[in-house]
Structure 1
Amino acid sequence: MKYLYLVFLGLLILQKASAQNLSGKITGERALPLQGVYLFNLRTGNHAHTDESGLYLLKNNKPGDSIKVSHVGYQAIIIAYKQSTLNMQLATSLFQLNEVIVSEGINHLSSVSAVDVQTNPVNSSQELLRRVPGLFIGQHAGGGKAEQLFLRGFDLDHGTDINITVDDMPVNMVSHGHGQGYADLHFVIPETVGQVDFDKGPYHAAKGNLATAGYVAFSTKDRLDNSSVTFETGKFNTYKTLGLFNLLNTKKQAAYVAVDYLRTDNYFEAPQDFTRLNLFGKYTLNFANADKLTVSASYFNSKWDASGQIPQRAVDEGLITRFGAIDSKEGGETSRSNVNLHYNKYFNSSTWLKSSAFYSRYNFELYSNFTFFLNDPVNGDQIRQKENRNIAGFESVLNKVYRLANTDITIQAGTGLRYDDVNNIELSHTANRSTTLQNMMLGDVNETNTYGFLNTEIEMGKLMINPALRFDHLNFKYADHLLAGSPAASDGKAILSPKLNFLYNQSKDLQFFLKLGKGFHSNDTRVVVAQQGYKILPAAYGADLGTTWKPAPRLILNAALWYLYLQQEFVYVGDEGVVEPSGRTARKGIDLGLRYQLTNWLFLNGDATYTHARALDEAKGEDYIPLAPRFTFTGGLSVKQLGKFSGSIRSRYLASRPANEDNSITAKSYFITDANVNYTWKRFTFGIVTENIFNTAWNETQFATTSRLQNEAAPVTEIHFTPGTPFNIKGLITVKF
């Protein structure tokens, strides 16, 4: 028996000795490191990914093992394991869906994002947000105001329950003059965006305030493939010029600038005279030891007039057309300047540190009139919302990987701070955008968010367990200028947000997940002070159960059942300067998605969502959540590199939904189809972009509002809407050099 044991032990040691690790670096064009390359041992099923430096470690290989190496947009290869160290360079190729791996980590939507970025180029900053399956947007103030957002049974207003970042810099404005979490993404030039990361629910420790329905994280490109100039023109006196200019593009350094200018009158009867200027520059330095430094800066400014939301009765009675206005003096001006710094310190293949810091200067002025002559029959109810803001922050995240015999443990420990200094945040009653009739609210806001998080990924063969914990402390301070001699009031609170996610990779083509997490969104500083700190940080509790499956080489399916519960919260209504309490809410639903490559050049995609949303503290029949989407669908066909042609046709459907608590007023559904086609000849690309190709009459945003027209004796509560674009067509030409 003793000898049998020794023989068995010897065989085990011999087996372990013969199983060796494979490590190295994988690069792409210009010998630059490739992140996210997937390595898969066809015999054992073991897999690995390259990090930001292109480095990888694939465990337990034997001589003769076949290892597949693949990355989206690059030619896949199969190598035979012969040595413990191997550096590789992949060649670019046409995008093929069969190269996409669904087992990509705890974010089950990463494979979907990779497909969409490759097959559906965007034409505007608004379309960037439509990358998120089930996320709908609506513009109701002339194109210069941040869009209204809808996701998972939320009317997110302009960003209250979705965390949006660009290069780790927050887009959302907390305690904003118009609404909590206001997220104006118009400072981003879409052609500079290289990656879109998103997920739904409060399951990620690195995402804090406002990440309840989900998050969207955009990353700009480190370098351009080439320089280009684009000229675009279309209906409604629309003109656009875009320039992308390479300044440096070597293995070690890259630098480019982008300039984007847009001018349009839009489709309303009162010309919007909308102008927008975007400037962006980025410099990247890759060090010999794999460290990386990036510095970027941007400037954005826009001005516009707006027709606002109009009452349905004014159209029905023939007072105005669908594209008319009750108060054509709405509009505004906004600007944002950003400086962003990133430094990645690489210690070894298992340890690296990512640090970032940013500063933003933000100005905002908006004129609106939602109720017309309800409160002031003489001058009207026009209001001005205005603020000047400085934002500064930093974040540092240490990544450490422990590689044991059969288990990999990845730990991320992060800490950071965000500080908002808002001066003269204002809500005033005005007339004709020139006369201030009354200051309704005026003061200064200081809000500080310090945080830390610990994220752990324990990978044991096919199973990954992801326990995580986040700590946030927020301090609120408000100085009311309308209370002479009154000292600034302040309050603060801390919150712990635990997360626990499970991911099971049955194979490289089948993944199951269970996600559990707590998140929160902070209330407006003025609410916190007014309520003396009560319900400062209402929590959200979520759960997702689902799968991502690749049943065929060119087909990806994803599905999720989910539930989200929110505690009671107080909401500051910036349009009226009042605090409205709302009770507990519960939302549950199902998400379905499909990505299919029909031929080498034709791609089909579709996403459908169903949501049941209710207020828990209201009587049945009076518990509807206004404007909560019930059913949504987006889908279409994309043509990629059919000879010299490319293009797409895409549709979106938003079902009718309750506009008030008892569902007596309904926001109408719409189904809209857009299309574009491009032809490339040598250095030139010619394109045609069309919107609403069937010229459907639809309402882009809708609200149940009480208003009174000048000739009315009594107010009326009904749907007020902003009409969506009629048929629109634009032509463009791009020259690359």
Structure 2
Amino acid sequence: MHFKQLTASLFLILLTVQLAFAHLGTLTGVVIDAQTRLPLRSVSVNLIGTGKMTLTDELGRYRFDRLAPKLYKIEFSHIGYATTAQKTAVGDDQTAHIQTSLIAAPVNLSAVTVSALRPADQQLISGIDIKLRPIVNSQEILRLVPGLFIGQHAGGGKAEQIFLRGFDLDHGTDIRLSVDGMPVNMVSHAHGQGYADLHFVIPELVDGVDFKKGPYTTDQGNLATAGWANMRTRTTLDRSFVKLEAGQFNTYRAVAGINLLGDAARQKSQSAYVGGEYSYSDSYFDNPQRFKRVNVLGKYHRHIGDNTTLTLTASTFWSKWNHSGQIPDRAVESGLVDWFGSVDPTEGGETSRTNLNAQLTTVTPKNHIIKNQFFYSSYNFELYSNFTFFLNDTINGDQIRQKEGRNLFGYNGSYTTQTTLGRTSWTTTLGAQYRQDITPGRGDGPTELSHTKDRTITLERLQYGNVNEINAALYADEVVQLSSRFTVNAGLRVDQFRSQYEDLLVKSSATPDPTTKHVTQAIVSPKLNLYFTVNPTLQLYLNTGKGFHSNDARVVTAQNGRQILPGGYGSDLGVIAKPFPRLLVNAAAWYLYLQQEFVYVGDEGVVEPSGRSRRMGLDLSARYQITNRSAGPNLFADLDLNTANPRSLDAEKGQNYLPLAPVLTSTGGLSLQGGGGFSGSLRYRYMADRPANDDNTVVARGYFVTDLQANYNRKNYTLGLTVQNLLNTRWKETQFDTESRLKGEATPVSEIHFTPGTPFFARLSLTYFW
């Protein structure tokens, strides 16, 4: 009897549930850009009066299920677009479908809301920011990441030195950089681990940058400890353009972007464009750089059916330059060289990179998202440097050549599903990644470090061999929206590395063949992020996670596999707040522990592993809209303030400073945008004094530099003025505590060696659109 009663009760419950949902309908839709006709992702879709909200997917689509039959009002909002509302009726057991076009509009901070649905959306860099701030090359777009500083110390063609969260990242040891999902960092590079050269990107073709500080994102693996950034190039050109620039120091630049298919193709969700860039500059050094750079990019995008998009990108890049290198303080003080002089005027380099990138995104009828990406790069690099002058070779000098040719190819794939039960939704992503780096590539030969003279004579090969490095990974990421206020994000990734190095120098009569060693190791990286939205003006979050950086294949094979993948453990406790409608504040206290630190060895041009380290600090970002005009330009103010306390854990107190790690940085300024006519930005950047050695007896001096960007915009053209270092401040852009010997010196001296920062540097530009 008891069993029969239980069965009857379950039947009644199921019947009640079925009847409750029997006459409920569904609302689906797609959101597109009114001008480009392309889908918009991450648009906030709010079903007014129901408490239901969602975001559009990769194809601009959204869906609401189990809706009572009636008339609904839907509101659409997205940064950089005018908020739009539509009404539609949902019937019994029917699916209503609407299409919405959003019109581009000036950014309005009053329209920005803090939501559990979009916890990372405040960490975006838009094309508006890029246009309004002084940008010389794509590498400088990284400066838009709050707290990130860069420094050039080799003539403009070499990848910049990067600083972030108490790290001297050298050229990318602990920050993961990518373009359209394709990796930029080069592991086991001839110049240093993680070398990241972004000069193959044309700044005018960058649509935006996604970034996050810390090791908290599941699909970002190797090198993403201090953080990561992904540049997104434009999918389509709304208008073709030609841009001409001319400036001081014999500086010239020409850029063009041509829409190949026109407006008719956009109506069919198809687009194609080609872009190109040529740059030349002698720069401000006494030794003319004769810097040349050529960039070409082509991109094709189309819908393959209603649910699949295909994007194909091809690009090629070449650059060649001379540079003046670092000069010691004593050389300037004694009058041996000028502030912009050079000790070894034969330094310089040449590099090239060709990329192929194919991205396929499919949304199934059940709203599952499948992404597949295949990429390939052919890369060549040759750099001549002299860090120590005549320290080791008092006759010929210590110039070195670092050279390699590389093939890089790989795959990124993911499968995402979304499930909703009541007010709780689960978004599950399963992903797979593969990357392989092989030297020698086409063109240049093996990975090389050689002692040279005058950039023409090879005196001795110090390292010479082939790298073959594989990184394969699987990951799972779960986003659980428990309510409109609370979101949990948990992730887990597993990475497997195989590092191989064929040493072509190690030969003997007993072993005439090259010595080849390989080692393997895996690492597991968990992530857990919590977001609690108190109200539409306040959100609290806690990010925790483990990340890692791989070590150079030449190092780990020599150490028989020890310390291949040292982990990094981090945590951010933060708040996103809108205390006033036009003020947005993001503040965080953070901590990061690394199992192994990198130390840059200037006299040999390599990086070597060191001991454990920890960093902690505070980040503060504020954005305020000073004026709020519906028509005409608006004035914005922004401020980023970042502190860090970096220390080594394997050294005594007082001897545990991390050389060149920033301790206090700040950027900020005023920006005028929107409406047409005049627009622009006046900005500053400040880096405080910081230790240059481990006991802080040598100090790298800080600097305060201001930049200006002014634009006059009309319908078919824009006039621009860019001024770097508006106040003509004398400053040191990069600094190292290096032991060196000048020609004729009896004994070596250890002191600050520096590259002077840009003096007052003005450039004019004219951009014509059609």
Q: State the Cα distance separating 1:496 from its structure 2 match.
A: 0.6
What SS class does the counterpart of residue 403 from structure 2 fall into? strand
Q: Distance in 1 between matches of 2:13 and 2:415?
A: 42
Within 2, Cα distance between the matches of 1:189 and 1:257?
Answer: 11
**Could you tell me which residue of structure 2 aligns to residue 654 of structure 1?**
687
CA distance in 2, matches of 1:162, 1:726: 29
Rounded to whole Å, the distance in 2 between the matches of 1:571 and 1:474 is 22
Alpha-carbon shift at residue 41 of structure 1 (Å):
4.0
Matching residue's letter, 2:532: Y
Q: Distance in 1 between matches of 2:449 and 2:688?
A: 34
Q: 1:605 aligns with which of 638, 648, 670?
A: 638
- Confirm or deny: 8 A CA contact 2:730 2:757 kept in the other structure: yes
Verify the 8 A CA contact 1:637 1:650 in the aligned structure 2.
yes
Cα distance in 1, alignment partners of residues 157 and 125 from structure 2: 27
Match of 2:343 in 1: 326
The equivalent of 1:473 in structure 2 is: 496
Q: 1:75 to 1:547 in 2, by over 3 A?
A: same
Q: Structure 2: which amino acid aligns with 1:190?
A: P
CA distance in 2, matches of 1:458, 1:307: 54
Query: Could you tell me which amino acid in structure 2 is paired with residue 97 of structure 1?
Result: L
* Structure 1 residues 276-291: aligned runs within 5 Å: 276-291=293-308
Matches of 1:147 and 1:540, distance apart in 2: 24
Query: Is 1:77 equivalent to 2:47 in the alignment?
Result: no
Could you tell me how far 1:550 is from its partner in structure 2? 1.9
- Alignment correspondent of 2:466: 444
Task: Name the residue aligned to 1:51.
Answer: 57
Distance in 2, Cα, partners of 1:290 & 1:575: 55
Alignment-derived partner of residue 666 in structure 2: 633
2:766 counterpart residue number: 733
Aligned-residue identity in percent = 49
- Residues 444-497 of structure 1: CA distance to partner in whole angstroms, max 9, x if unpaired? 110001111001111111211111110100001111111122431111101110
Residue 190 (structure 1) aligns with? 203
**Which residue of the partner structure matches residue 266 of structure 1?**
283
Alignment correspondent of 2:38:
32
* 1:95 and 1:118 in contact (8 A); partners too: no
1:544 aligned to 2:566?
A: no
RMSD: 2.3
SS of residue in 1 equivalent to 2:96: coil
Q: Name which of structure 1's ranges 302-311 and 87-96 shifts more when overlaid on structure 2.
A: 87-96
3-state SS in 2 of match to 1:526: helix
**Cα deviations by residue, 1:185-222 (Å, 9 ceiling, x for unpaired):** 00000111112100011111100000000000111111
Structure 1 residues 196-205 or 566-575, which shifts more?
566-575
* Secondary structure, counterpart of 1:85 in structure 2: strand
Deviations 1:624-649 (A, max 9, x none): 00111111101111111354111111
**Partner of residue 712 from structure 2, selected from 664, 670, 679:** 679
Instruction: Please report how far the alpha carbon of residue 574 of structure 1 lies from its aligned counterpart in structure 2 after TM superposition.
Output: 7.9
1:120 matched to 2:132:
yes
1:526 aligns with 2:554: yes
Is the alpha carbon distance of 1:157 and 1:312 closer, same or farther for their aligned partners in structure 2, counting shifts above 3 Å?
same
Match of 1:631, as an amino acid?
A: L
Q: Find out whether 1:168 has 2:196 as its counterpart.
A: no
Structure 2 gaps of 5+ residues are 1-11, 441-445, 508-512
Distance 1:107 1:271, change over 3 A: farther
Q: Is the 8 A contact 2:736 2:754 kept in 1?
A: yes
* More displaced 10-residue stretch of structure 1: 98-107 or 513-522: 98-107
Structure 1 window deviating more from structure 2 (76-85 vs 545-554): it is 76-85
Count of residue correspondences: 732
* Pair 1:257-2:274 in alignment: yes
Alignment correspondent of 1:576: 604
Partner of 2:241: 228
Q: Is the 8 A contact 1:523 1:571 kept in 2?
A: no
Q: Which of 214, 226, 229 is residue 216 of structure 1 equivalent to?
A: 229
**Does the 8 Å contact 2:151/2:160 carry over to 1?**
yes
Note if contact 1:342-1:355 (Cα within 8 Å) is conserved in structure 2. yes
Cα deviation, residue 66, structure 1: 4.9
Aligned to 1:101: 113
1:429 aligns with 451
- Shift in alpha-carbon separation, 1:685–1:568, aligned structure 2, 3 A: closer
SS at match of 1:497: strand
CA contact (8 A) 2:438 2:468 kept: yes
Say if 2:575 is the partner of 1:558: no
Contact 2:54–2:117 under 8 Å retained in 1:
no
Contact 1:45 1:507 survives alignment (8 Å) = no
The structure-2 alpha-carbon separation of the partners of 1:675 and 1:548, relative to structure 1 and needing over 3 Å to count, comes to same
Residue aligning to 2:385: 368
Q: After superposition, what is the alpha-carbon deviation per residue over 1:698-733, rounded to whole angstroms, capped at 9, x for unaligned?
A: 000001100111121111111100000000101111
1:307 and 2:313 are equivalent in the alignment: no
Query: Judging changes above 3 Å, is the alpha-carbon distance between structure 1 residues 123 and 309 closer, same or farther for their aligned structure 2 residues?
Result: closer
Does structure 1 residue 619 correspond to structure 2 residue 652? yes
| Displacement of 1:503 | 1.2
CA separation in 2, counterparts of 1:445 and 1:177? 10
Amino acid at match of 2:79: V
Shift of 1:128: 1.2
Deviation at 1:317, TM superposition (A): 1.2
Contact 1:206 1:453 (8 Å CA) reproduced? yes
Per the TM alignment, residue 118 of structure 1 is displaced from its structure 2 partner at its CA by 7.4
Q: Which residue of 2 aligns with 1:129?
A: 142
> TM-score by structure 2 length?
0.91
Equivalents in 2 of 1:98, 1:306: separation in Å?
47
Q: 1:206 is matched with which residue: 216, 219, 223? A: 219
Please tell me the residue identity of whatever aligns with 2:176: N
After superposition, residues 364-443 of structure 1 pair within 5 angstroms as 364-423=381-440, 424-443=446-465
Q: Deviations over 1:535-580 (max 9, x none)?
A: 1100000011101112222221101111000003566858516774
Query: Does the C-alpha gap of structure 1 residues 577 and 9 become closer, same or farther in structure 2, counting only changes over 3 Å?
Result: closer
Contact 2:27-2:96 at 8 Å conserved across structures:
yes
Deviation track 1:227-258 (CA, whole Å, cap 9, x = no partner) reads: 11111000000000001111014232100011
- Indicate if the aligned counterparts of 1:55 and 1:349 stay in contact, CA closer than 8 A: no
Question: Aligned in 2, Cα 1:180/1:109: closer, same or farther, shift over 3 Å?
Answer: farther
Q: Which of 260, 278, 282 lines up with 1:247 in the alignment?
A: 260
Name the structure 1 match of 2:4.
none
**What code does the residue aligned with 2:469 have?**
E
* Structure 1 residues 66-104: Cα deviation after superposition (integer angstroms, max 9, x where no partner): 543211222212345642624122233333222333327
Q: Encode CA deviations 1:504-555: one digit per residue, 9 max, x unaligned.
A: 2223332221111001000000001111101110000001110111222222
Q: Counterpart of 1:3?
A: none
CA distance in structure 2 between the aligned counterparts of 1:326 and 1:172, rounded to whole angstroms:
30
User: Greater shift after overlay, 11-20 or 408-417?
Assistant: 11-20
Provide the TM-score with structure 1 as the length reference. 0.95
* Residue 130 of structure 1: how far off its partner (Å): 1.1
Work out the CA distance in 2 between the residues paired with 1:385 and 1:198. 31
Per-residue CA deviations over 1:7-58 (Å, capped at 9, x if unaligned) read 9999999987898653222222254322121122453443211112111124
Question: Per-residue CA shift, 1:128-151, capped at 9, x if unaligned?
Answer: 111210000000000000000000
1:480 alignment partner AA: D
- The answer for the alignment partner of 2:6 in structure 1 is none
Q: What amino acid is the match of 2:456? A: S
**Distance in 2 (alpha carbons) for counterparts of 1:553 and 1:570:** 44
Structural mapping, 1:678-717, within 5 Å: 678-717=711-750
Does the 8 A contact of 2:671 with 2:681 survive in 1? yes
Q: 1:585 maps to what in 2? A: 613
Distance in 1 between the 2:527 and 2:82 partners?
37
Q: Which amino acid in the other structure matches residue 108 of structure 1?
A: A
Distance 2:514 2:130 in 1: 56
1:148 and 2:161 correspond: yes
